[in-house]
Amino acid sequence: MAALFDAYIMVDWSAAAKPSLGANSIWIGILAKDARLKLQYRGVNIDTRLKARAFLEDMVAKLKKRGDKVLIGFDFSLGFPAGTAAALGLDTSKQAPWAATHAHLAAKLKDKPDNSNARYAIAAGLNYAISKGAFPFWGAPARDVVSTLSATRPEYKDAALAEYRLCENYLREKKIGQPKSVWQLAYTGSVGSQTLTGIPHVHALRQAWPTSRIWPFELGTEPLTAGSLEGIDVVMAEIYPALVKPKPEKGEVADEAQVRQIARHYADLDEKGTLSAAFSTAKSLSPEQNQHVTEEEGWILGV
């Protein structure tokens, strides 16, 4: 079976409020074919989100020009728990809930060249729209705490919105890591701020690349095939680098090692013909749950 992709780009995102390099900054790993059609790897460390998006646009343009199909993985949530778009009062009559939420966040959160933005104020505003109180986002530093955004976790039991998405509950139940809730904006292991700052850039890339698709929202939850990729040059997906235990080489920081290893992981699956199955959700999900996955929540590639 021929490989589905020719190049694999993995992105370790950062919500840093100023330009940053090294640990806990943006790392992009690129595994692409050289002149001899052999996969070669290189890692890039980029200090701002705007520069990272520009790098991805340029890199993908070069790969597409030579006819490559590209898989891009982002290590933050591409969706929110089912019901989020409705809770925000977004119009989903002409677009799916996930797309409405992506467009809404892209309109609100704008990174400046110095990497600053108003993500805590935006999260407070989203909380007001949803609950008129400090729910569901939480985890603000003391200077950003307001009546609609607290430093501490709110109560999710019996709430209209779940604390975790289906994929995070699945990982926890199967003891595959301990993913945090997308609502948590700060503290160890949090992914909320990366999600708020990352989705607007994914939205911009999707608009810039008409022949791209975001999995599983636009490709469904069944195994991917060459036929389903006809006319598609780029597939963007959510990844969870902790699926592969990091083994940093000498001089590497953990994030740098993770993008290298997860890129090779997906490339190896593709070479073996098993990456297709990674583009599917847990077999234990019901049709209703899979609908939540494709319409709003998303899923992690390979889980």
The residue written with tokens 């409405």 in the block is: 100
Look at residue 301 in the predicted model and tell me its pLDDT: 97
Cα distance between residue 10 and residue 30, in whole Å: 7
> Contact 258/252 with Cβ under 8 angstroms?
no
CA distances from 293 to 137, 179, 191, 282 (A): 20, 17, 18, 11
Look at residue 247 in the predicted model and tell me its pLDDT: 85
In the β-sheet with 26-33, what is the strand arrangement from edge to edge? 39-46, 26-33, 7-12, 70-74, 234-238, 212-214
HSE of 28, CA atoms in CB hemisphere, 13 A: 22
Look at residue 50 in the predicted model and tell me its pLDDT: 98
Cα distance between residue 240 and residue 31, in whole Å: 17
Cα distance between residue 164 and residue 179, in whole Å: 9
> Contact 30/9 with Cβ under 8 angstroms?
yes
String of DSSP letters for 85-154: HHHTT---SSS-HHHHHHHHHHHH----TTS---HHHHHHHHHHHHHSSS-S-B---GGG-BTTB-SS--
CA distances from 204 to 20, 79, 92, 156, 199 (A): 22, 16, 19, 32, 9
Q: Is the pLDDT of residue 239 over 80?
A: yes
Overall average pLDDT of the 192-216 stretch: 98
Look at residue 141 in the predicted model and tell me its pLDDT: 95
Q: How confident is the model at residue 260 (pLDDT cuts 50, 70, 90)?
A: very high
Overall average pLDDT of the 253-259 stretch: 94
- Identify the DSSP state of 182: T
- Identify the DSSP state of 225: -
Look at residue 282 in the predicted model and tell me its pLDDT: 83
* Spatial CA neighbour of 148 closest among 161, 139, 135: 135
Look at residue 147 in the predicted model and tell me its pLDDT: 98
Overall average pLDDT of the 147-173 stretch: 96
Q: Is the pLDDT of residue 35 over 90?
A: no
Overall average pLDDT of the 119-147 stretch: 97
Look at residue 203 in the predicted model and tell me its pLDDT: 98
Q: Is the pLDDT of residue 189 over 90?
A: no
Look at residue 31 in the predicted model and tell me its pLDDT: 98
Mean of the per-residue pLDDT values for the chain? 96
Render pLDDT for 68-83 as a digit per residue (tens, 0 to 9): 999 999 999 999 999 9
Cα distance between residue 138 and residue 118, in whole Å: 15
Render pLDDT for 55-71 as a digit per residue (tens, 0 to 9): 999 999 999 999 999 99
Maximum Cα–Cα distance for the chain, whole Å? 59
Render pLDDT for 85-112 as a digit per residue (tens, 0 to 9): 999 999 999 999 999 999 999 999 999 9
CA distances from 103 to 79, 97, 107, 130, 212 (A): 12, 10, 6, 17, 16
Look at residue 251 in the predicted model and tell me its pLDDT: 86
Look at residue 188 in the predicted model and tell me its pLDDT: 85
